[in-house]
Chain A
Amino acid sequence: MQKDDFSNSYVVEGKLALPYTYFAGRLGSTFLTTLRDQARIMGVRCDKCGKVFLPPRQTCERCLEDIRDKWVALESTGVVVNFTVVRQQDKHLPRKTPYVLGMIKLDGADTPIVHIIEGVDPDKISEGMRVKAIFAPESEPSILLINHFEPAA
């Protein structure tokens, strides 16, 4: 079989740059402004299945109940239920590597959130570790209003 000739093949550099806008919506905005102005983390509870969701959502995706008004204040402490160590540096990452991304279940919540864990050697992190939120009220309104979590006593 004749081999293909690739002498005319080359690579063209390109870029995809497009602006977009994310709307948090009423529920997401309440969550973020409460986080910013009161340093308080709010979840929502589904009365039907009893689950407390964080981040909050308008609908319990399991029962499809409308839970937008069922706010519950959560503790800013919780437990690491899973984690990974990010070691490969990339311009899109929020921290210099190596750093720890953890799944943290706050006290009072049934669903974990993903966040950065600092103040602990990446090789010493473990499931079950108690952590607390460190707030950054000066940040733009995103989940980085919590700057990171760190080990709690």
Chain B
Amino acid sequence: MGYKNKNRHVGIVGIGETKFSSHREDVNQPEMIHEAVRQALDDAGLGIDDIDCVVHGNMELFEMVHQPDMWHTLGTGAYGKSAFRLTTGGTTGGTLVSGADNLVASGMYDVVMAVGFQKLQEGHTTGGITNMADPLWARKLQSGALTAQAAVKVIAEFGEERARRAAMTYRIIMDKHACKNPNAHRAFHLEWDQIDDLMAHSPPLIGDLRLIHMCSQSDGACAIIFAEEKKARKISEKPVWVRDHITVHREETLNLANNYYPIDTTHRFAAEKLYERNGIDNPLEYFDVFEMYDPSAWWGLDWLRDFFLLEGDAHIRMVENREIMIDGKMPINPSGGVISTNPIGATAMIRVAEAAKQIRGDAGEHQVPGNVEHGLASSFGGTMWTVLTMLEKETNW
């Protein structure tokens, strides 16, 4: 696959996240972005002069501003520096991390800052997504990012009652996590005894996908600073190492065939390749935390099977037994995940930022208990794109 080991280790040395919200009338785009940039610089103890290169990204058409990286120089600090813009839809944040990691690993730059953002309140999200489809055919048919395909499949395989209950259990676990994260956009304080009520009464969007299952539309930004090993150790007391990342996508077609599991998804393909080349036999045993790009509760539930290479109903049981809770066997999204917070161009980057905070041990109230050494973060976008990022506490792999 043309994969080579890195030239040199790359560490995350600074992290910044804004508070996420759907009401940011008080700032324009560069001002909002700057909140994350300032935090990341302060977190690393660096000044803007220490940054060699800025990588900027969001998903176009949501704010209806083109080449925002130019205007945003006011907030990113890219003035006079090398700068790149990357945009790959929902995976943008993961691609930003991959890009920054490659730029440092290659030796091109020693210190790179990646900045992802979205200000969804400024545009029309569903209209924007629909406009990305093929204008001659799919624009007429596409329903934004909403789909009930995952629900259809999980229900067909495990039955209505079990599937619906598992999806809502997943949803409530994510809300319980979001309530611990002060940056989270939506935290409803849902209770376990609301499951039946929500299954019956949350407004339906498409098929069995209900409003409560679906991710929010958020405003916010995330910035991460990457440095090569020597500098990383100097800058940070606890740099988090980007061990590996993989991007998998396939041609732009929606699969409405309703052919069932096992089918080869980009998630499963990416996971298999990544674990294989890093010698990981049992990902459930290996990873201490997983920040998943879960745009809906149905997808989150279904994708657990792909990411952990599980068979049968193992992924459903993980949720039913609440093993994915913050203090469970395999904590998933202690941050509350994407259902609680989705500023699209920043979302996948927040997964990496949050997994890195868990490894540093300074995530605050939503810190996973115990020692966190190995983290996994996923990105999702388009008609099936996957970026997986592996983070480590030590460089002993």
- Which of A16, A57, A63 is the one whose CB lies under 8 Å from B30? A57
Contact of B25 with A23 in the complex, beta carbons under 8 Å: yes
Q: Does A26 contact B (CB under 8 A)?
A: yes
Please tell me the number of chain B residues within 8 Å of chain A, measured between CB atoms: 31
Bound together, the chains give a CA A16 to CA B79 distance in angstroms of 33
Interface-facing stretch out of B121-129, B285-293, B333-341: B121-129
Q: Is B207 an interface residue (CB 8 A)?
A: no
Closest Cβ of chain B to A38, distance in Å, is 22
Contact check, A23 vs B24: say whether CB atoms are below 8 A apart.
yes
B75 with A59: CB separation less than 8 A? yes
Partner of A14, one of B61, B119, B135: B135
Query: Chain B, 129-145, contact with A by CB distance < 8 Å: what is the 0/1 string?
Result: 00100011000000000
Q: Does A18 contact B (CB under 8 A)?
A: yes
Contact A18 B28 (CB under 8 A): no
Q: Is B28 touching A12 in the complex (CB atoms < 8 A)? A: no
- The answer to the question of A124 belonging to the interface, with a C-beta cut-off of 8 Å to chain B, is no
Q: Which residues of A contact B38 (CB under 8 A)?
A: 64
Q: Judging by beta carbons under 8 Å apart, are A57 and B74 in contact?
A: yes
Assembled-state Cα–Cα distance A20/B124 (Å): 6
* Complexed CA–CA distance, A26 and B28 (Å): 8
Tell me, rounded to whole Å, the shortest Cβ–Cβ distance linking A140 to chain B.
16
Knowing A21-B121, A23-B24, A59-B75, the reply to whether A12 touches B34 (Cβ < 8 A) is no
Nearest B residue to A24, CB-CB: B28
Q: List 15 A-B contacts (CB under 8 A).
A: A14-B135, A18-B61, A18-B123, A18-B127, A19-B123, A20-B63, A20-B123, A21-B121, A23-B26, A23-B122, A25-B26, A57-B30, A59-B74, A64-B47, A64-B77
Known: A20-B64, A64-B48. 9 other contacts (CB 8 A): A12-B136, A18-B123, A18-B127, A20-B122, A24-B28, A25-B27, A58-B31, A58-B74, A59-B74
